[in-house]
Homo-oligomer: A and B are copies of this chain.
């Protein structure tokens, strides 16, 4: 069978990070039309001889400096049909990823924005961010995905406020600790974080830095 004319295929990445106890998403400022000067998800075309992962790596690297290997969690989010772009339909593969590298070393044209105060976005990217955020919410409830948003060592109050930032509501401190520790995902270290005029907090770490499903769903 010979080659068939197919739609154009693009890829975009929704990269989340926690900054200052807020859930943030990585955006790039567009240079060209359409939507010049608007912010958008990082993305680009998939070439005929590359996989979607390779295209994601290429686009993220070029536009934000972030490499796939710095994303401890990457997963497919959704594939959209977009009508009538570039003279035919386009298919957009959206990936969704978690990052914990901070805000440094980004080019001027890339920036993390708090998901609750995004600028106006190109295409349907605002909807995609909302969808990705919902997905993240459920991921942290039935998997250990939170490992990918936190530094290797963290305190339980940090962990709790990470959950609160992702879920969007406050949790009871005692119940949170009890339930979370019961899951057995983490282990204590024997070091403490001293941070101001109060009792130091014990540092913990995730036992696994790969995704695993929880036996009992969390929160």
Interface residues of A (CB under 8 A from B): 1, 3-9, 32, 45-53, 76, 78-79, 81, 83, 86-89, 91, 93, 217
A25 vs B87: C-alpha distance when bound (angstroms): 36
Q: Which residues of B contact A87 (CB under 8 A)?
A: 3
**Chain B nearest Cβ from A52, distance in angstroms:** 5
The docked-state distance in angstroms from the alpha carbon of A4 to that of B49 is: 12
State the 3 A-B residue pairs at the shortest beta-carbon distance, nearest first.
A48-B88, A5-B48, A51-B81
- Distance of A93 Cα from B86 Cα, bound (Å): 21
A135 CB, nearest partner CB in chain B, Å: 13
A6 touches B76 (CB 8 A): no
Taking a contact as CB atoms under 8 Å apart, the answer to whether B51 and A89 are in contact is yes
Q: Which of B4, B48, B88, B93 contacts A89 (CB 8 A)?
A: B48
13 contacts between A and B (CB under 8 A): A3-B88, A6-B6, A6-B45, A6-B48, A7-B46, A9-B91, A49-B88, A52-B81, A76-B78, A76-B79, A79-B79, A79-B93, A91-B93
